Structure 1
Amino acid sequence: MKVNTKELLEEIFPPFQLADNRSLLECDFYDTHHRYFDEIDDDYLSAIEISAEGLLLEYNLDWPEFYLKASLEAIRSRSRPHEGIKTWKDVSYEYLYYFGQDCSFLSSEGFKFFLPATFYYFLSTDENKAYMDWFIFRLNSQWEKDCYVFNDDQKNFISEFIKKHYSGWAYI
């Protein structure tokens, strides 16, 4: 493996836009409320007798201040949150730490968007790497659904990564 992990990942996983694919924060909200921010309507709020803001604040989600603020804006406007993530290079370790467990709710393209960031932080930091287990589980459980979005070089990188860092996991 090349010394500069980020250069290698950019070569194999060139950055692309998240576009219409849901983010991990959106998936975390969906996991809690079974709706995305832009699917919350007045009928739903009336049925559960809570305000849009209360939907976030009363559930006491353990989100950092920035993500809570972005989520409050999204729930008020009933639109997608503005998280400042344009490519995988914009994804922070903190983001993966808080929301990585919800990668199973991503579309295949959304999963491909976030996966290089997980590799990068796994290989370049000594921080808690529990988020990576969720991404490996996703690879293991949904590979047949996701494999079409990866090219051969990406599949080889994923396979070599698994062999080196997650022996015993057979996903492909």
Structure 2
Amino acid sequence: MKVNTKELLEEIFPPFPLGDNRSLLECDFYDTHYGYFEQIDDDYLSSIGVSAEDLILEYNFDWPQFYLKIGLEAACSRSRPHEGIKTWKDVSYEYLYYFGQNCSYLSSEGFKFFLPAAFYYFLSTDENKTYMDSFVFRLNSQWEKDQHVFDDDQKKFIIEFVSDHYKGYVSWIPEL
């Protein structure tokens, strides 16, 4: 593998916008409430007896203050959260640490958006890498659904990564 991991990943996974696909933060909210921010209307809030602010605070999300503030603003405005993530290069380690376990709720395109960031932090830091287990589980359980969004070079990188770091834990590894 090349010395500069980020440059290699940028070559193989050129950055693209998330677009209308849900983010990991939205997926965390979705996992808890079975609908995302713009679907929470006054009827929903009154049926559970809370305000938009209380909805986030009452359920005691284990989010850092920055993300809690973003979630509150999104719930109050009934709009998507402004997370400051334009491409995978904007995704922080902290973000993956807190929200990576929700990658199974991403669309295939959303998964493709966040996967290079997961690779980057796995390969370039000594931080806790447990978030990667969720991404590998997603690869293992949803490869048939997701593979169409990856080109051959990306598939090759994914297969080599999984072979090198998760030997024996993944059953889907195809031959290219």
Same fold (TM over 0.5): yes
Report the number of matched residues. Answer: 172
Distance 1:171 1:141 in 2: 8
Deviation digits for residues 143-162 of structure 1 (CA, Å, limit 9, x no counterpart): 00000000000000000000
**Corresponding position of 1:2:** 2
**Corresponding position of 1:170:** 171
**Corresponding position of 1:72:** 72
1:57-136 matched pairs, under 5 angstroms:
57-136=57-136
Distance 1:69 1:46 in 2: 22
Distance 2:128 2:27 in 1: 21
The answer as to 2:141 corresponding to 1:155 is: no
Q: 1:19 is paired with a residue of what secondary structure? A: coil
Q: 2:9 is paired with a residue of what secondary structure? A: helix
Structure 1, unpaired ranges of 5+: none
Distance 1:93 1:99 in 2: 10
1:39-58 matched pairs, under 5 angstroms:
39-58=39-58
Distance 1:170 1:4 in 2: 29
Distance 2:17 2:49 in 1: 37
Structure 2, unpaired ranges of 5+: none
Aligned-residue identity in percent: 80
Distance 1:147 1:7 in 2: 23
TM-score (norm 2): 0.97
Runs of 4+ with >4 A deviation: none
Shift of 1:170: 2.0
